Structure 1
Amino acid sequence: MKRSVLTLLLLIATALSPFFVGTSAFAQTRNEKVYTVPERQPEFPGGKAALSTYLAETIRVPNSVAKKNYDTGPIAAKFIIDELGYVHDIRITMKPLDKKTMKSLSGFMTNIISAIEKMPRWEPGEVGGKHVAVFYTLPIEVSMQ
């Protein structure tokens, strides 16, 4: 009896598992091509100057981080701009830091991710005259002075 109940629970869990998979996990399994070097790079609406202005106005350095004047080293946001110009799969990269510093910077990293998530649609990259998904690396210069 216990074995049949366990088998039944396992079957139900297997059948329902697609409903509990997060969209980010699902996005990782798509079979679309993502280019790293397209013929035409994606472009932020208004160009690079508008992108710099957007980031400067949107990303806020928390006071606690600014006061400690952490040396974060180079920071980069890496994400995919899909064939429709939407940004997704955002990751932040930086030099290795100790756990205490990383904990202090977690709110700042969240601000960066939030700013990128709220970006307007980009003009997508192109290959062969068709819009394509592009893996994009955006260096972020941090000045805490």
Structure 2
Amino acid sequence: MRRKMIGTTIWALWCGAVCFAQSSTDELRQHADKAQEVFDGPGHLRDTANGPVLDRPPEYPGGQAALFAFLKEETIYPPEAMDRGIMGKVFVEFVVEKDGHVDSVRVKRGVHALLDAEAVRVVGSMKNWIPGMQAGEVVRSRYVLPISFVMQEKDVQRARKRAKRKG
């Protein structure tokens, strides 16, 4: 039941973000470049194929809807994190290889070891992606995926009560 609530929450947040985040492609690329610089620092190559912007970025089979459905289905909120009321967004970086498999999965920006480990586990279990393309060639490319761990208010209050009883 909790898994469904968490999945529904992730899906609802994603839908809200999509509705309010409509921008032109050029504008999105500029914002993405700036955001990536925050993660990597100035001058760091985001793409292992030595190109700053791909002609076609890597894509999860079925697109974003399928990716979020996968995350909703496979992500398990760690019970200890839920008991302690730990929430947040974990940014996971990985490489989509030329054959589409996911490699070099690591936490780019974490929240807590429990949530970080679950995010890495889920990303590592993904099926092959459609690799990115640059100048007509299939290339290795980095991808940063945010994974949100959010609890409903009643779950937060339940966690606080448990913590008071234990402490």
Distance 1:36 1:54, change over 3 A: farther
RMSD: 1.9
Counterparts of 1:3-82 in structure 2 under 5 Å? 33=49, 35-72=51-88, 74-82=89-97
Residue-by-residue CA offset, 1:108-140 (whole Å, 9 max, x unaligned)? 322221211111110000011111011111111
Pairing partner for 1:131 from 138, 141, 157? 138
Contact 2:119 2:147 in 1 (8 A): no
Please tell me the residue identity of whatever aligns with 1:109: D
Q: Does 1:115 align with 2:131?
A: no
Alpha-carbon shift at residue 34 of structure 1 (Å): 5.3
Partner of 2:16: none
CA contact (8 A) 1:34 1:132 kept: no
**How many correspondences in the alignment?**
105
Distance (whole Å) between structure 1 residues aligned to residue 97 and residue 134 of structure 2:
13
| In structure 2, distance between residues paired with 1:71 and 1:111 | 12
TM-score by length of 1: 0.64
Match of 2:103 in 1: 88
Is the alpha carbon distance of 1:78 and 1:62 closer, same or farther for their aligned partners in structure 2, counting shifts above 3 Å?
A: same
Structure 1: 4+ residue segments shifted above 6 A: none
AA matched with 2:85: N
Give the TM-score, by structure 2 length: 0.57
Q: Distance in 1 between matches of 2:148 and 2:75?
A: 11
Q: Deviations over 1:2-61 (max 9, x none)?
A: xxxxxxxxxxxxxxxxxxxxxxxxxxxxxx635552110111011101100101111111
Q: 1:55 to 1:36 in 2, by over 3 A?
A: farther
Letter in 2 for 1:66: M
Point out where structure 2 has 5 or more consecutive residues left out of the alignment: 1-47, 153-167
Unaligned runs of 5+ in 1: 1-31, 98-104
**C-alpha distance in 1 between matches for 2:105 and 2:52:** 15
Identity %: 28
User: Does the CA contact (< 8 Å) of 2:78 and 2:115 recur in 1?
Assistant: yes
Where relative contact order (Cα < 8 A, 6+ residues apart) is larger, the structure is 1
TM-superposition CA deviations, 1:72-101 (whole Å, max 9, x none): 3x3211011011111111111336x6xxxx
